[in-house]
Chains A and B, each alone.
Chain A
Amino acid sequence: MSEDPIAAAQADGRTTLTEAEAKSLLAGAGIETPAFSVAADADAAVAAAEEIGLPVVVKVSSPSVTHKSEWAEGAGVAVGLDSADAVREAAAEIFDAADARGIDADVLVEEARDVDAGTEVIVGGLRDPSFGPVVLTGLGGIFTEVYEDTSHRIAPIDAAEAREAIEELTAIELLEGYRGREPADVDALAEVVAAVGDLVNEHEAISEVDVNPVLATEEGAVALDALVVLGGE
């Protein structure tokens, strides 16, 4: 995907980027993402999985699907696929479900990451009507809405300020290691927070960036899922 993902979405008249487009945007901003490829049929999905290396995750990729895991009774996201057959089956299920709903869809085939090997964090950016570009970070995954453990900054910020924002979280204790788990690379996470702030600051077309989760491990911070919303003018 060599073209500018924001321009591509705008050319289609879309206000949301596909996950692949969002991840290209993040990768371009220096944020680590799992290796991925977009496939238009089940054979291509299998080829992509072999290229990336098993196990992989297969997800629906369509401008009409924003919440992939809730889509088509859970068919939208299949994790831990460790054989060509499993990839083919998951991809076929997505294409069938898309046909049944009358939408155009591809599948995103992505290198699997072990979420238990780290802490899930949310990093978000948005363009606030009063404050302009802002960035937030917080405990991610299923706990985001339960604990609302978040901290905010007016963007742009440098990595030191981003690190301070992370250290304000109650979840910092999880990130610093608990029960013998290795501490996460908080500096790498801070780079992600700063980079998301920069993205919103630099691209006026972006109204919201939602990177949830970012997996923070001892080796770094990787964006496992991402949503980018453009201003609906």
Chain B
Amino acid sequence: MNLQRLFRPERIAVVGASATEGKLGYEAMANAVEFDGEVYPVNPSGEGEVFGEPFVESVTDIEETVDLALLAVPAHVVPDVVEECGEAGVGGAVIYAGGFAEAGGEGEELQEAVVAAADEHDVALLGPNTSGFVAPASNLLASFAGGVERLRPGGVTILAQSGGVAHQLAFSAHREGRGIATMVGLGNRANVGFEEAIPYFDSDPNTDAIVLHVEGTDDGRALLEACRESDTPVIAYKVGQADVGDFAESHTGALTGDHALYTSGFAQYGVPTVESTTELFDAGQALANSPEPDGANVGVVTAQAGPGIIIADRLQRAGATLPDLAEDTQDRVGEILPGITYAENPVDTGRPMPEFGDVVEAVAEDDNVDAVLVYELFEEALGFPQETLDGLAERVDKPVLFATEGPAESMADDLAALREADVPVFTSPERGADAAAVLARYATLDDAAADEEVSADV
């Protein structure tokens, strides 16, 4: 199934568009008209215009071929509307309404009818039971939620099983000055699920990392295989650890919870897993903006010992290693900072100083180090080592992450400048360490998954 017309349309129609404020068809239309391409409001009982666009009676009446239809209509009419969309040559549809498979019984039958109509006409369906998707780079706001027009473009694509979680991740990213490539709520996954969406966004030039929110899917193996096939890094947050599934008579069944299979399977197929939405987006941000690390060796530079110790502790517990620095790196650091408190790893400069950037550079250039994590409290007189950090990751070809804290008002401009330079920035030692640890796990898992593929070819 080709998802290009669903996720990257040129023309869209809002079926069930309404001029009545507060209605789903009004909110969907209000967002849709932000789109850079053409937008057609469709409603047989609509009169005149809505947001400056004249109402059309049916998608089949639109002369140009519509790529994407946003269906702001009640559940029971969705099968007919999808059929109509198919006849009109529409390539993709977003179904906002709930009351389908998630409701059981008649809802399941309704969903089967929708899928049958869609499959017959090759229409890719997002949903039902989703709040939609958003692609900020083309102002494509295929979501009825308010505020999505504020989301900014970035490199991370969010594929969430729940539209609510997709929006939560997107808004928390926005609050921290980060952008997203595409935010997708998959909902009921009627005919577009993880295994269809992952390959699509793997080939999407705007997507540098894919983050997954997974509650459970019918075909876990297809999800894992899609992840392994993806050249774009994938990270997953599997929710639902407490549910251990049906207890079986014998040992093997009883010991095999669904969650255990997901987490083992993700690791086996090269996908690091995380335990919170914060960790998910932080890791996605780090992977999207960094060269891929070669291994799990992290060099830590800190201007304050306490946060440095938290970072060192947390990194090692999460499976990263803190290698000794090469002797010439130690000499370089010693020359920059005579009488330094601790020049091994972490390097602790004791306090922020004008030469802090030179220390970061020395550690980043060390061949023993696969990734760098820097922590420094913001000091107004010094600012951040902006000049060093800008382009450093590309030059040394390894991730360089920056964690900090300070008064929001005074460091706002400097933080924005770092983000503008694509430096992954985190606002606590733990968040920085967690993101670096996921990078380390990604490097080691990626190796293992690659080995497996090699052995499978033999």
Contact = CB atoms under 8 A, between A and B. Distances in A.
A210 B265 contact: no
B62 interface: no
Interface in B244-270: 248-256, 258, 260-261, 264-265, 268-269
B268 A161 contact: yes
B221 A152 contact: no
Interface in A207-233: 208-210, 212, 227, 229
B220 interface: yes
A43 interface: no
Contacts of B252: 122, 124-126, 136, 208-210
Interface stretch (A19-27, A34-42, A143-151): A143-151
B313 interface: no
Given A154-B264, A161-B268, A227-B250, A148 B255 contact: yes
Contacts of A212: 251
A212 B250 CA distance: 10
Contacts of B219: 130
A136 B255 contact: yes
Interface in B215-230: 216-221, 224
Interface in B391-450: 448
A80 to B, nearest CB: 24
A153 B261 CA distance: 7
B36 interface: no
Interface in A45-61: none
Contact of A145 (B254, B261, B264, B269): B254
B231 interface: no
B255 A131 contact: no
A134 interface: yes
B261 A154 contact: yes
Nearest to A125: B252
A130 B258 contact: yes
A161 B268 CA distance: 9
B455 interface: yes
Interface string A132-164: 101010100000110010111110011001001
A64 to B, nearest CB: 15
A152 B268 CA distance: 10
A128 interface: yes
B250 A208 contact: yes
Nearest to A122: B251
A227 B224 CA distance: 29
A128 B261 contact: yes
Interface residues of A, number: 31
Given A136-B256, A138-B255, A161-B452, A152 B250 contact: no
A128, A209, A227 interface centre (most CB from chain B within 10 Å): A128
A128 B222 CA distance: 13
A92 B268 CA distance: 50
A93 B370 CA distance: 67
Contacts of B260: 150, 152
Contacts of A150: 255-256, 260
Contacts of B455: 158
B195 to A, nearest CB: 12
A130 B261 contact: yes
Contacts, number: 77
A152 B251 contact: no
Contacts of B258: 130
Given A136-B252, A153-B268, A154-B268, A128 B220 contact: yes
B221, B255, B261, B455 interface centre (most CB from chain A within 10 Å): B255
A118 B292 CA distance: 44
A217 B398 CA distance: 45
A161 B455 CA distance: 11
B452 to A, nearest CB: 7
Contact of B224 (A66, A154, A229): A154
Given A152-B264, A161-B268, A161-B452, A144 B255 contact: yes
A130 B452 contact: no
Contact of B251 (A124, A128, A134): A124
A134 B261 contact: yes
B439 to A, nearest CB: 21
A158 B451 CA distance: 11
B219, B250, B265 interface centre (most CB from chain A within 10 Å): B250
Nearest to B244: A148
A20 B135 CA distance: 61
B86 to A, nearest CB: 30
Given A151-B264, A154-B264, A161-B452, A130 B221 contact: yes
A125 B219 CA distance: 18
Nearest to B258: A130
B215 to A, nearest CB: 12
Contacts of B218: 129-130
A202 B268 CA distance: 20
Nearest to B248: A208
A128 B253 CA distance: 9
B256 A126 contact: yes
Interface string A97-126: 000000000000000000000000010111
A157 B456 CA distance: 10
Interface string B201-227: 000000000000000111111001000
A134 B224 contact: no
B276 to A, nearest CB: 23
Nearest to B458: A158
A58 to B, nearest CB: 23
User: Lowest 10 A-B CB distances belong to which pairs?
Assistant: A124-B252, A130-B220, A152-B264, A131-B220, A210-B252, A154-B265, A210-B250, A150-B255, A131-B261, A131-B221
Interface of A: 66, 122, 124-126, 128-132, 134, 136, 138, 144-145, 148, 150-154, 157-158, 161, 164, 208-210, 212, 227, 229
Given A124-B255, A158-B452, 8 more contacts: A122-B251, A125-B252, A130-B217, A130-B218, A153-B268, A154-B261, A157-B268, A208-B248
7 contacts: A124-B252, A124-B255, A128-B220, A134-B256, A152-B260, A153-B264, A154-B269
